[in-house]
Amino acid sequence: QQQVKQSPQSLIVQKGGISIINCAYENTAFDYFPWYQQFPGKGPALLIAIRPDVSEKKEGRFTISFNKSAKQFSLHIMDSQPGDSATYFCAASMWTGNQFYFGTGTSLTVIP
């Protein structure tokens, strides 16, 4: 059973547009939600993370929005650039846990 559900599976966005990736979770014990970015031939790298005590976290062009009541969180990439083309994974764990549950990934393509 997939603990974290991610959509869409793939996304094509024009340069300068906004990319939005959504995730949903079931386990209310999760309280740490990181996003990872993976380029071809590389392992995933931590991009940005959020805890449920805030509804939004922004780092540069990347923003996580969090809806605790709906058990959903999303990644917004503003002013998307071709260099953002990668696979993005959402994940969930407990703050003091050491097991992460990953979504199935979203392949983002930003067209120049």
Partner 1 sequence: KAGVTQTPRYLIKTRGQQVTLSCSPISGHRSVSWYQQTPGQGLQFLFEYFSETQRNKGNFPGRFSGRQFSNSRSEMNVSTLELGDSALYLCASSFRVSGGPDTQYFGPGTRLTVL
The footprint of partner 1 (CB under 8 A) covers 6, 9, 32, 34, 36, 41-46, 49, 89, 91, 93, 95-105
Do the beta carbons of residue 52 and residue 69 sit within 8 Å? no
28/68 Cα distance (integer angstroms): 9
State the nearest-atom distance from the C-beta of 55 to partner 1, in Å: 19
Q: Give the nearer residue to partner 1 in terms of CB position, either 54 or 95.
A: 95
Q: Give the nearer residue to partner 1 in terms of CB position, either 40 or 112.
A: 40
Q: Give the nearer residue to partner 1 in terms of CB position, either 1 or 69.
A: 1
Do the beta carbons of residue 74 and residue 11 sit within 8 Å? no
Nearest-CA neighbor of 79 among 16, 21, 1, 8? 16
